Structures are given as structure tokens and as C-alpha cells.
Structure 1
């Protein structure tokens, strides 16, 4: 997929046309190298309360170990997929904290054979959560050496440039028809319905069921929506908000993302301490122990080193009930 070929057409669209507002800011990432960089830029954009349109073009690959789709970046290879590609559920997690109805994603994607096969039996594999409208097409990846251009996304750009303020559903239908000749086997992505969490319903069973079924993006997005509701109702220094941080930490563990899980467990432990819980409280010790365990599973040495100082500082305050845990952590960091 020649993703960069659509950038000139998108760049020619007035930013306000994309969002339907008087002014807008455009962030362009052409052939990004590092998934953490992409995540940081996405998180910054998602923090804006206004409308957001995310345009994606690229190739999807399946992490065979975890069965999770990843969007390939500039240096992604089959051997380095888990460390150099962007996990799709990261997108779902970041977009899931936004208010329903404020996020539209337009995606033109090529899928490797494993992803293409999974889409046949798991149509919600690319679900981005209840708050995002997803329009797109997914095509089988071309054979090596065969060119493929994001004709679907290019058609969106050309329609936007024409000045027509068409509904997204119309833009999707016209662009899909325009691009049909380039990939007749394409699967079209329908928008996910937006809805707010119901406060009189226990969401935990549904979240766990989604995670256990491999729908990690959906599980993360629903948990993030409940966390956002807890923040709105009870504030950031509340036990309710801290609970949902812990849920998201465990979902990251189930998704095979130890660095993300460690980061969230660290935040959960700090939250409990801020609320005044003692350092020998079983829940505090449990959060630190889980952060420590997930840290030990991080395969990327640089990511582990980046999280190490915060974990060491927390271990000094919360030594836990396993003798030598702090000393072992310091030795591993030094080595």
C-alpha cells in the first residue's frame, strides 16, 4: 500500500472542511517509524474536545502470538511486528476516551492473509469502540512488487476538495463505488453506533467476555468510556476512577501488552496512595506487584528501562511481601 501517495490530496483539503468547523489543526504523519511516537501524537490530538477526523492508510498484519491486528509502520517487518507496528487496539483505547459522536475514522487498508482470513469470521476485529464512526475498506494485500494505492481515501479527499458538504455515509458510498475497480474483493467497514454507558448496568461481564474473545480493542474502548464517566462524576482522585484504571491495566495484560499494563498499574498504585491508603494495604501492594510482574515481561529493553525508575521509586515506598523484590529490580535495571 503506497500510503504516502494520498497525502498531497489530503493536504489540499481546507482543514475546516474535514471537521465542519471554522478552523482546525492538521497533524500529518508520513511513514512514521515508531509506534510510541504515533501513540503520543494521537493522544495529543484526541485530547482536544472538538470534532476529530482520523485518516489512515496502510497495511494490517496479525500478531500471530496474540492474534491482534497491527498497522505496519515504516520499519515494520514480520520479525519485528510487535515492536515496530501500531497495535490496532491502541487506537481503540485512545479514541474510546472521547465523547461519543465527536470522532470519525476513515481507513483505507490492505490486509495480510492472516488478517483477511480473520475478518471473515470476526467482522468486529477492527472495531474502535462505541464512540467512533468508522468508515473504510479493507482489501487483500497485493503480491510483493505489485503496487496498490489508497483509491478509497483519495476519493474522500477529492470529494472534500470539491467543497461539497456531503454526509459521511454518502462520502463512504461514493468513494467505495469509485474505488471498486481497484480491489473488487474489498470489504467495507460500517460505522459503529455511538452510545453512552448505561450507569444501572454492570459492564464488567461484557468487557471481560470481549477481551476473552480476542476483541481487545472493543474491551479497552468500553472500559475507557466507563473511566471517562467516572472521571466526570467523581473526579480524577476518586476510587471509582482508580478502579477503571485497574480494569484497563488488566485488559492490557490480557491483550499481551505488558508495558502498557505496567504503566497503568503504576498509575493505579499511585492513585490508591493519593487517596490515603497505607503502603501495606493489600490492594496497594497488589497493584505494585502486578506492575512489577508486567515490567518483567516487557520484551523491549528501552521501554523497560524507561519504566524502571518509576517502578523502583514505588517499590521503595511499597516493598511488598516478597523479600528481595526491590533488590532484584535494581539489579536487573543495572544489568
Structure 2
């Protein structure tokens, strides 16, 4: 019997690299690698067949280079996952991925230069290479990326996140966790952009301390069922300087109105994506500690409350208040007081007792600085005492 044939699809290839420097552990990437490795390689790459290679805590940059070179030689689609801590060689001012033996003094000899990765991938066919990165960076390196003095771009589609690591921010590999969960549970693998959007929305990261790699998070999903359609109490619009490029074109003219309309229609994920995108723009324009960034954090808090997540709303309003205070606004500033009062309001609607106690601890601390109306501090103290008794073993 005659059979027709068609050109065979080249198999895909996934290279998973996760490294933790020995002297610090900003990201527990080695522990997360098995979650990603458990995803079928074909699902990782987006082909009908694929193979995968893991490098867990490599300690020699030349060994990593050899493995990257082997991966770059495959003809089919290639996905390179890179997770760990970004450092800079102070002599050449080039980005490196810290490996297992990397210290501050040995970056040049024990870390993987990022440009090696770009160089090895530059000869591949256009559109066949994807790099997914879940990274952390110290303040100087992170700021250089935010200000585009350094870049991770190359001859590939780049997705992922770089989180700030300092005394106040302790990043976690939540982008990897969300990515693995989505790839294991969705019925069909999304496109690269859509997969990044979904992962960014699901990852539990600090927005003001996260630089997204790839397109800004958006909401490609269909609208969710409508909820009570009352006007969302979005904080008053903050004027944006003319030079600030709109990060979410659909809401470029009036993001507050777009957020309100989306939330009224029950499209809370869309509303949150618009607010998060403008928060990222404010971060780049004004810095992480600024009233402009606090404003968009508070907008996301309103959306969270509308969505029925009072714990997240409380957390965001508390964060907004802290950003405002750190930015120099006084304890009696109306916007500071409003943020703490709204956090207090949302806190009383948190039904999970352990979570309420956790949030209440931070609220109690803020109430010592921002007492609010008469009896507000005492109210926090009473509920915290009730929660402590309820949670006794």
C-alpha cells in the first residue's frame, strides 16, 4: 500500500541550567529544578517530541559552555532555561551567571559570562530559540538592568523575571514554580507570549522589585463571570509625565477608567494587568520608592478587594503605606493615612485566622506610626489578642 509522506518535524531540545553560589542562596533554584524537569520535554519546548538535559548547580563555566554549544547545534526548536543569581565582572563590567563556586572575588573565573550564551545561540535559525530566565540580582546589578545599562537580550525570544535581592527583598523562584504548574495543568501549551503572561500573573513576586523580561504582563484570557457592577473606588488619578510611554496601549489614554470598566465587568485579571504594567512604568520613571509607584500598588489593592481577596488587598495597602513613608511622606499625610485605613478595613475581612494574624502584625506596627482615628490601634490589639487565643493548640 502506498503511503504519503511529509517532512518530519525536527525534535525539540530543552536545556535546564540552575545554579546557586555557595556563599549565598538568593534563589532556591536547585530545589525548583525537579518541578520543571518533571514537565514532559515536548510540553516544555512546544513540539511533538523533545529531549531535555539538566545542569543542577554546575561549578565550571567551561562545562556549561560545552553543554550550551551542544544544545545550540540541534536543528529543532530549543528552549534554554537559566536560573540563579546575576553578578558583574568588575573589570569588564559584563553580566555573569553565578555558579556553585562563584564568590565576589572569583566572578571572572568561576561564573558563566552571559554573552557566551548569546554568542553560542547567534547562528541558529531565526525563531527557533527561546530563553526563559528566573534570576535575582543585587541592587547595583538590578538597577543597571532597569536603566538598560546592561541587557540580557540576544538572538532569541527572552521571557522571565529578574528580582531585586537586598535586605528588604528576599526573592523566590516563584516564576519557575508558576511556569511548571501552568505547563503541567493546561490542556494545550500556550504560545510563548501567552505562557509568559500567564506565568507573570501567577508568580508571587514583589512588583516594585521585579523586572519582567519579555512583554509586559497582559491578560489574554476571556472575561470572567460578571460580579456586582458598582463603581470601583480607584484612587484618584496621578498625573503621568508626558515622557512616560504607556506600557499598556489599550489603556494609554485613561488607565484608571480602563481599570474601573474592566473590574466592573468582572475582568479583574485584566484590570490587575493594566495596573501592574503602569506600576512597572512608574518604577522605571520614578524609582521603587516613590509615591507614583505607591499609587499603582494601591490601585491593585482596590482590584484585589473587588475580586474577593481581602488578604491580598490588605497586604498591598500596607505595602503602599510603607513605600509612601519610605519615600518621605509624613505619618499625617492624607494618602498615607488612607492607605493604612484601607488596609485596616480589608484586614477585618480576612477570614483565614493565621493569615489575619500575619497581616495584623504588620498593621499593628504601622498603627504605631499612623494611629488613625480614635480607637484604631486598640481595635488592632483586641483582634490580635482574639486571633492569638483562637490559634492556640
TM-score range, shorter chain: 0.5 to 0.7
Residue 193 of structure 2: aligned partner: 169
Residue 151 of structure 1: aligned partner: 174
Give 1:1-335 correspondences, 5 Å limit. Answer: 1-122=27-148, 125-129=151-155, 132-143=156-167, 148-162=171-185, 163-182=187-206, 184-190=208-214
Deviations along 1:189-224, one digit per CA (max 9) or x if unpaired, are: 116xxxxxxxxxxxxxxxxxxxxxxxxxxxxxxxxx
Where 2:203 maps in the other structure, the secondary structure is helix
CA contact (8 A) 1:101 1:133 kept: yes
CA contact (8 A) 1:180 1:186 kept: no
CA contact (8 A) 2:146 2:211 kept: no
Cα distance in structure 2, aligned partners of 1:61 and 1:32: 16
CA apart distance, 1:180: 4.3
Deviations along 1:93-140, one digit per CA (max 9) or x if unpaired, are: 0111111100011101101222112113226611113xx100011111
CA contact (8 A) 1:2 1:147 kept: no
CA contact (8 A) 2:171 2:205 kept: no
- Unpaired stretches in structure 1, ≥5 consecutive residues: 192-335
CA contact (8 A) 1:62 1:112 kept: no
Name whichever structure is richer in helix by fraction. Answer: 1
C-alpha change, 1:121 and 1:181, in structure 2 (3 Å) is closer
Cα distance in structure 1, aligned partners of 2:209 and 2:147: 16
Coordinate RMSD, CA, aligned: 1.9
- List, as ranges, runs of 4+ consecutive aligned residues in structure 1 with deviation greater than 6 Å: none
- Unpaired stretches in structure 2, ≥5 consecutive residues: 1-26, 216-393
Q: Scaled by the length of structure 1, what TM-score is found? A: 0.53
How many residue pairs match? The answer is 188
Where 1:107 maps in the other structure, the secondary structure is strand
Deviations along 1:29-53, one digit per CA (max 9) or x if unpaired, are: 0000000000000100110010001
